[in-house]
Chain A
Amino acid sequence: MNGNQSMSVAASDATAVDEHALVHALRQGEEWAFETMVRVYGGRLFAVARRICSNEDDARDVLQSAYLSAFRALANFEGSCQLSTWLHRIVVNAALMRLRVRRRKPEDSIEALLPAFLEDGHHVEEFAEWSMPADRLLEREDLRATVRDCIARLPDQYRQVLMLRDIEELSTDEAARLLGITATATKVRLHRARQALSTLLRREFAPAVTVPA
């Protein structure tokens, strides 16, 4: 067993891994490197998949699908971020795709979900209160599922930024790196995603009243 091969046995977490050496071995097609990549990073990634999918079987499929995508895309891994960060993005994307397939609902247009304004700058819509306070609504699992359902209906790029920032709780800079956009663009996109989700939740939790012209 050489030094690199011993990494596959000795590494119990990502911090113990020489990523540069691992990526090099992966590109060389070394069998031990692929197993190391799965065993070292897989536990945390599996937890992410389970959190998003809320289904053990789906999470397994997502993890498998994500790793296969990663294996095929290794040539495109530029090393500008950590391998764990790159894998995290792939798993989140795979899980979100699975979520949408499960929901079998088309995504909504973002423009239709953003607030509309009159010429004088007032809101078109008069916002009704949610039927009960948010903390009470969310005591019910069926309504928490409604929230997840609404998130799944957001267009891809908005759902991704919202998941990364609000659910996975990455910083703006971390999310920006994952998405390949600037921090400013990440903030703008997140704001629009939250506005759109707010509209979807209002439709579920509060009756809307449109101000007469």
Chain B
Amino acid sequence: MMTCRELTEFLEHYLAGELPAPVLRVFDHHLALCVNCVRYVSQYRDTIASGRRAFADLDVPVPDDVPDDLVAAILAAR
């Protein structure tokens, strides 16, 4: 039986689909029995998605050029 501590140690590999089949079976068995770990895994996924979402709206088109005044300021400060 995998413990909650062990489950968190395998979590990255689980999400990356890198767990060997025998370990994956034990991992899934733990999740089937432990609602607390189900929530932990779910919130871990939501954390990754939240980080991306929090910055996604700030995506802006890559400008062709740096504004000339900014180029001048950078070079002048050198």
Contacts and interface: CB of A to CB of B under 8 A. Distances in A.
Interface string B36-72: 1101100110111111111101111111111000110
B3 A64 contact: no
Main secondary structure on B side of the interface with A: helix
A117 B5 contact: yes
B59 A51 contact: yes
Contacts of A126: 36
A64 B5 contact: no
Interface of B: 3-6, 8, 11-12, 36-37, 39-40, 43-44, 46-55, 57-66, 70-71, 73-75, 77-78
Interface of A: 12, 34-35, 38-39, 42-44, 46-47, 50-52, 54, 60, 63-64, 67-68, 71, 115, 117, 120-123, 126-130, 134-135, 137-138, 141, 144-145, 147-148, 151, 162, 166-167, 187, 190-191, 194-195, 197-198, 201-202, 206
Contact of B52 (A67, A130, A137, A166): A166
A2 B69 CA distance: 26
B53 A144 contact: yes
Contacts of B55: 51-52, 148, 167
A71 B8 CA distance: 43
A38 B46 contact: no
Contacts of A194: 44, 47-48
A42 B54 contact: no
Contact of A39 (B43, B51, B58, B66): B66
A123 B74 contact: no
B58 A50 contact: yes
Task: List the 6 closest pairs (A to B, CB-CB), nearest first.
Answer: A121-B3, A42-B66, A147-B54, A134-B46, A198-B47, A127-B39
Nearest to A124: B4
Contacts of A38: 66, 71, 74-75
Contacts of A71: 78
Given A67-B74, A126-B36, A144 B51 contact: no
A117 B55 CA distance: 32
Contacts of A34: 75, 78
Contact of B63 (A46, A129, A138, A145): A46
